[in-house]
A and B are shown apart, each in its own frame.
Chain A
């Protein structure tokens, strides 16, 4: 554990060799080839976007107000959806990881359902519950005169619904991997269960939580099917970037769609790359 070893276990790589040789020493070809193919598979379509972009008209398209509105809305809703997922998902993950109860396996399977359902179906399901004639929505409408569809809140709900499983799974995994004995140590020092959770457990799994949050944010940012089905499509209120791209394609403006996609691509890559490596890979 904190056994500070005087023993240096692993064999040290030959640091005197030039860098390329060092790499060849460490990576077997059988892994390198599929890895390269996988990388190409992921990167080529992105390259396609970049190459086919209408570079001449790019500057004016970039600053179109509709574009900036959609981008701002996307970033806002994705971030708020991630916060919601954290507030609800971390306790849920803790429940699944640490508390033994009957039907835990079923609950865990249910939690992953939004991953498996097509996003449009998720949108339909949300409508059936929160729509104006939905199970809860009807009551909301009657009592407060408020419904979720066609509102920005509705967008956040749709995004949170599809993205939460990522967070819950990542955090549950991290909690299972965390050493529960630290919690015992905290108890012997006088920490209540809640204090132990906030001061010991959470810091220990923070990298896992961060990784889950990043995945969650990325998924929320790219969410389309549930948003357009549940929240609708209106600029400034519910038209996120993916919806704007869709509308642009549907209206035949392929160039415009490529531009919007490039913007979304650039923004998300920048943000994800700026996050510390440490936070994405687990400790």
Chain B
């Protein structure tokens, strides 16, 4: 069951089409992961991320579609083919780690090796090796309840990797950690994932996890894929409101006619480069300027708005604005003080055309309603 190092030039290690029907909810997720590739599965709560992970792990059968791991068919409903979790070459790091409380860290890591037929002594040696690799050699004899969150996470990772799985699955691996630990652990995790020769699927809701750890992002909403690409593309060109919020952009959809994109009957945005057809327009909150009165001068995008909310956002102030379009703006504290911003106050919004980015709305992909931020 220990997988042979897959050949990168051959078929993808994970070749799947996950279809699960569960009452009102339907997951429909085509998925391909190459050897050595790390794919992050992102999405809002209820999108189906955990369901997808459980299906790959063999804890949840598919309703339709298929799963093939390293050339082996493990789930094919139409052929009544189903391989349970214990016979798949997988390793799972659960959100709560689920380290066996009655075993030491060493025996936890050795557990999978023992189940794969390796004798106790050899299993313990390899487990000790893995613990050293994750920097926990001294914790070998500790029980899970004696470990800190970060340490438990590392043991869980070692336990999953020790069996050299073809597919490594991580379910929100950093969610249970505090901010400081998360920072360090994320960096280390990145290192281990890079070293892992098999495929990796990382389920997360934290965009930073995805950006740091993954080669490719797969975004699902309501059981459907809405965007699939590397971090750079996605951050540059979000296609749904969720993604936009994820990467921190204001996003609008409309019809482009040259340098104007008509977003609604009453409103159009001016963009930098001309284009035609169905389009997205995005600009960051930092590109939004606020003025007490209608500004003169060059910016082509100005409109009156009303302040609906104020929050701190890092060192800046995040201002929510209502108007012909809903906008989020980041204002420095100094500017805010000058403007004396209060909720309900009318202001004028200005966005330079040069700071907007417009790109075609690809009608191949399903679209989501563009909601206000």
A193 to B86, CA, bound (A): 9
Nearest neighbor of B99 in chain A, beta-carbon distance: A2
Asked if A4 and B102 make an inter-chain contact with CB atoms under 8 angstroms apart, the answer reads no
Nearest neighbor of B116 in chain A, beta-carbon distance: A190
Q: Is B292 an interface residue (CB 8 A)?
A: no
Which residues of the other chain, A, contact B178 by a CB distance below 8 angstroms? Answer: 6
If the complex has contacts A2-B152, A6-B178, A184-B85, are A189 and B98 also in contact, measured as CB distance less than 8 A?
no
State how many angstroms separate the Cβ of B194 from the closest Cβ of chain A: 22
State how many angstroms separate the Cβ of A257 from the closest Cβ of chain B: 46
Which residues of the other chain, B, contact A186 by a CB distance below 8 angstroms? Answer: 100, 111, 115
Asked if B85 and A188 make an inter-chain contact with CB atoms under 8 angstroms apart, the answer reads yes
If the complex has contacts A2-B97, A184-B85, are A189 and B112 also in contact, measured as CB distance less than 8 A?
yes
Q: Is B159 an interface residue (CB 8 A)?
A: yes
If the complex has contacts A2-B144, A3-B149, are A187 and B86 also in contact, measured as CB distance less than 8 A?
yes
Which residues of the other chain, B, contact A190 by a CB distance below 8 angstroms? Answer: 1, 86-87, 112, 115-116, 163
Asked if A2 and B147 make an inter-chain contact with CB atoms under 8 angstroms apart, the answer reads yes
Which one of B88-96, B184-192, B228-236 contacts A? B88-96
Asked if B98 and A187 make an inter-chain contact with CB atoms under 8 angstroms apart, the answer reads no
Q: Is B57 an interface residue (CB 8 A)?
A: yes
Q: Is B145 an interface residue (CB 8 A)?
A: yes
Q: Is A95 an interface residue (CB 8 A)?
A: no
Q: How many of A's residues come within 8 Å of B, CB to CB?
A: 23
The residue in B101, B147, B152 that gathers the most chain A C-beta atoms within 10 A of its C-beta is B101
A170 to B168, CA, bound (A): 38
Query: Chain A binding site: helix, strand, loop or mixed by DSSP?
Result: helix
A169 to B152, CA, bound (A): 34
Nearest neighbor of A193 in chain B, beta-carbon distance: B86
Q: How large is the interface on B (under 10, 10 to 19, 20 to 34, 35 or more residues)?
A: 35 or more
Chain A 1-32 per-residue mask, 1 if CB under 8 angstroms from chain B, else 0 = 11110100000000000000000000000000
Chain A 146-185 per-residue mask, 1 if CB under 8 angstroms from chain B, else 0 = 0000000000000000000000000000000000011011
State how many angstroms separate the Cβ of A203 from the closest Cβ of chain B: 4
State how many angstroms separate the Cβ of B37 from the closest Cβ of chain A: 20
Complex partner residue of A4 from B84, B87, B152, CB under 8 angstroms: B152
A193 to B84, CA, bound (A): 10
Chain B 160-190 per-residue mask, 1 if CB under 8 angstroms from chain A, else 0 = 1001000000000000101000000000000
Nearest neighbor of A196 in chain B, beta-carbon distance: B86
State how many angstroms separate the Cβ of B200 from the closest Cβ of chain A: 15
If the complex has contacts A4-B152, A185-B92, A189-B163, are A204 and B101 also in contact, measured as CB distance less than 8 A?
yes
If the complex has contacts A2-B99, A184-B59, A200-B100, are A191 and B149 also in contact, measured as CB distance less than 8 A?
no
Q: Is B342 an interface residue (CB 8 A)?
A: no
State how many angstroms separate the Cβ of B256 from the closest Cβ of chain A: 49
A2 to B144, CA, bound (A): 7
Asked if B101 and A188 make an inter-chain contact with CB atoms under 8 angstroms apart, the answer reads no
Q: Is B58 an interface residue (CB 8 A)?
A: yes
Asked if A181 and B85 make an inter-chain contact with CB atoms under 8 angstroms apart, the answer reads no
Interface residues of A in 171-224 (CB under 8 A from B): 181-182, 184-193, 195, 199-200, 203-204, 206
State how many angstroms separate the Cβ of A175 from the closest Cβ of chain B: 15
Which residues of the other chain, A, contact B88 by a CB distance below 8 angstroms? Answer: 188
State how many angstroms separate the Cβ of A190 from the closest Cβ of chain B: 4
Q: Is B148 an interface residue (CB 8 A)?
A: yes
State how many angstroms separate the Cβ of B295 from the closest Cβ of chain A: 49
Chain B 1-15 per-residue mask, 1 if CB under 8 angstroms from chain A, else 0 = 100000000000000
Which residues of the other chain, A, contact B100 by a CB distance below 8 angstroms? Answer: 182, 185-186, 200, 203
If the complex has contacts A190-B1, A195-B115, are A185 and B98 also in contact, measured as CB distance less than 8 A?
yes
Which residues of the other chain, A, contact B151 by a CB distance below 8 angstroms? Answer: 4
The residue in A1, A2, A181, A184 that gathers the most chain B C-beta atoms within 10 A of its C-beta is A2
Which residues of the other chain, B, contact A1 by a CB distance below 8 angstroms? Answer: 96-98
Which residues of the other chain, B, contact A3 by a CB distance below 8 angstroms? Answer: 96, 149, 176
State how many angstroms separate the Cβ of A182 from the closest Cβ of chain B: 6
Which residues of the other chain, B, contact A191 by a CB distance below 8 angstroms? Answer: 86, 111, 115
If the complex has contacts A187-B84, A188-B57, A200-B100, are A4 and B147 also in contact, measured as CB distance less than 8 A?
yes
Which residues of the other chain, A, contact B57 by a CB distance below 8 angstroms? Answer: 188
The residue in B84, B86, B99 that gathers the most chain A C-beta atoms within 10 A of its C-beta is B86
Nearest neighbor of A206 in chain B, beta-carbon distance: B102
Which residues of the other chain, A, contact B159 by a CB distance below 8 angstroms? Answer: 189
State how many angstroms separate the Cβ of B103 from the closest Cβ of chain A: 8
If the complex has contacts A187-B85, A187-B86, A192-B86, are A181 and B101 also in contact, measured as CB distance less than 8 A?
no
Interface CB pairs A-B, < 8 A, 9 = A1-B98, A2-B145, A2-B152, A4-B151, A6-B149, A185-B92, A190-B1, A190-B115, A199-B111
Return the 4 tightest CB-CB contacts between A and B, nearest first.
A189-B112, A190-B115, A1-B96, A187-B85
Q: Hey, which bits of chain A sit against chain B, CB under 8 A?
A: 1-4, 6, 181-182, 184-193, 195, 199-200, 203-204, 206
Beyond A4-B147, A188-B59: 19 further Cβ-contacts under 8 Å?
A1-B96, A2-B144, A3-B149, A3-B176, A4-B145, A185-B94, A186-B115, A187-B58, A187-B84, A189-B111, A189-B115, A189-B163, A190-B86, A190-B115, A200-B100, A203-B102, A204-B101, A204-B102, A206-B102
